[in-house]
Amino acid sequence: MNATYNKEDKLLILEITEEIDHHTTEKIRRKADYEIERFSPKRTIFDFNKVTFMDSAGIGMLIGRYKLVTMLGGTMEMVHVKPSIMKIFEMCGIPKIIKVG
């Protein structure tokens, strides 16, 4: 996962560069938590451009990051979500909680 922080906009972009499953969620969670706590951004974007697969472990990881971001007073959204992953989000009601653009 790659992280980019724009200090002027207080924007943190977390680009996920691998599949999200029970094998990778812990590594993604640790890196995301570190960057979120490090910068306390007003806006956090998870970029799914390179994600081709996600299982239920990814849903839990995202909800946890959403709670952390909002606890610190920020907002979270997800971009470049592929249709197959969007179906999973819709089945779980994620777009009602987290903005998906």
Which among 49, 51, 64 is positioned nearest to 97, based on CA atoms?
64
pLDDT, tens digit, 9 for 90 and up, residues 13-46: 999 999 999 999 999 999 999 999 999 999 999 9
Rounded Cα–Cα distance for residues 39 and 26 (Å): 20
- Binned at pLDDT 50, 70 and 90, residue 96 comes out as very high
Which residues, in sequence order, are CB contacts of 59 under 8 Å at separation 6+? 88, 89, 92, 94
In contact, 40 and 11? CB cutoff 8 Å: no
How many structural domains comprise the chain? 1
CA distance 53 to 50: 9
Residue 12 sits in a domain whose CATH number is 3.30.750.24
Q: How confident is the model at residue 8 (pLDDT cuts 50, 70, 90)?
A: very high
Give the sheet arrangement for strand 43-47, strand by strand: 2-6, 11-15, 43-47, 75-79, 99-100
User: What range does the domain containing 70 cover?
Assistant: 2-100
